[in-house]
Amino acid sequence: MYEMNQNLRLARAYVPFQVFSQRWEPLEGLMKGTIFPELYFPYKRREY
Amino acid sequence: MWFYEKKLQYPAKVGRANLQMAKFLITQYGGPDGELAASMRYLTQRYTMPVPQAKGLLTDIGTEELAHLEIIATLVYKLMDGASVDEIKRAGLGAYYADHDKALYLVNGEGVPWTAAYIQSKGDPIADLHEDMAAEEKARATYEWLINLSDDPDLNDTLRFLRQREVVHFQRFGEALQIVQNYLDCKKVY
Is A39 close to B165, i.e. CB distance below 8 A? no
Domain locations in chain B? 19-189
Cβ within 8 Å of B, A 4-33: 12-18, 30-33
Whether residue B84 lies within 8 A of chain A, CB to CB, comes out as: no
**Alpha-carbon distance A15 to nearest alpha carbon in chain B (angstroms):** 5
Residue B113 backbone phi and psi in degrees, to 5: -65, 150
Question: Topology of domain B19-189, per CATH?
Answer: Ferritin (1.20.1260)
Chain A environment of B168 (Cβ under 8 Å): 33-34, 36, 39
**Alpha-carbon distance B144 to nearest alpha carbon in chain A (angstroms):** 7
Question: What's the confidence (pLDDT) of residue B17?
Answer: 97
Residue A16 backbone phi and psi in degrees, to 5: -65, 145
Residue B189 clears pLDDT 80, i.e. is over it: no
Question: What's the confidence (pLDDT) of residue A5?
Answer: 67
Non-local CB neighbours of B65 within 8 Å, separated by 6+ positions: B35, B36, B38, B39, B42
SS3 B55: helix
Residue B25 clears pLDDT 90, i.e. is over it: yes
Which of B147, B168, B178 is opposite residue A14, by nearest beta carbon? B178
In this prediction, what percent of chain B has a pLDDT beyond 90?
98
Query: For B110-145, what is each residue's pLDDT tens digit?
Result: 999 999 999 999 999 999 999 999 999 999 999 999
Non-local CB neighbours of B37 within 8 Å, separated by 6+ positions: B31, B114, B118, B119, B135
Whether residue B165 lies within 8 A of chain A, CB to CB, comes out as: yes
Question: What's the confidence (pLDDT) of residue A1?
Answer: 46
Chain A environment of B162 (Cβ under 8 Å): 33
> Dihedral sign, CA of B123, B125, B130, B131?
positive
Q: Which residue of A has its CA nearest to B157?
A: A31
Whether residue B163 lies within 8 A of chain A, CB to CB, comes out as: yes
Query: For B75-99, what is each residue's pLDDT tens digit?
Result: 999 999 999 999 999 999 999 999 9
Is B174 close to A30, i.e. CB distance below 8 A? no
Size of interface A-B (CB pairs under 8 A): 55
Is B160 close to A30, i.e. CB distance below 8 A? no
